[in-house]
Amino acid sequence: MGIKIKIQTFIASLFRRLSTALTRMSIIGPESREGRRFGRFGEGSAIGWPTGAGFGEEWIWIGENTMISSYVTLSAGMGPNQEMLTNPVVKIGNRCLIGRGSSIIGHWSIEIGDDVFTGMNVYITDQNHGYENLEEPIGTQTPNEEAVSIGEGSWIGSGAVILPGVKIGKHVVVGANSVVTSDVPDYSVVVGAPGRVIRQHDGNGWQRKHHFTSNIE
Per the annotation, the verdict on 129 as an active-site residue is yes
pLDDT tens by residue, 5-55:
666 676 666 555 644 554 455 588 888 888 899 999 999 999 998 888 889
136 CA to centre of own chain: 31
Nearest-CA neighbor of 193 among 169, 156, 161?
Answer: 161
Q: Which of 107, 129, 171, 211 is catalytic?
A: 129
Classified as helix, coil or strand, 120 is coil
Give 144-159 pLDDT, tens digit per residue.
Answer: 999 999 999 999 999 9
The whole-angstrom separation of Cα 110 and Cα 89 is 6
Q: Is the link from the previous residue into 194 a cis peptide, with omega within 30 of 0?
A: yes
Buried b (16+ CB within 10 A) or exposed e, 175-208: beebebbbbbbbbbbbbeeebbbbebeeeeeeee
Where are the chain's structural domains?
A: 30-208
Q: Which residue has the higher pLDDT, 203 or 154?
A: 154
Four-residue CA torsion sign, 182, 107, 40, 104: positive
Stated pTM of the model: 0.83
List C-alpha distances in Å: 217 to 81, 169, 190.
35, 10, 18
Percentage with pLDDT > 90 across the chain:
62
pLDDT of residue 75: 94
User: Which among 47, 50, 22 is positioned nearest to 36, based on CA atoms?
Assistant: 47
Give the per-residue pLDDT at 20.
52
Q: Which amino acid is at 122?
A: V
Q: How far apart are the first and last CA of the chain?
A: 71
Domain 30-208 CATH class label = mainly beta
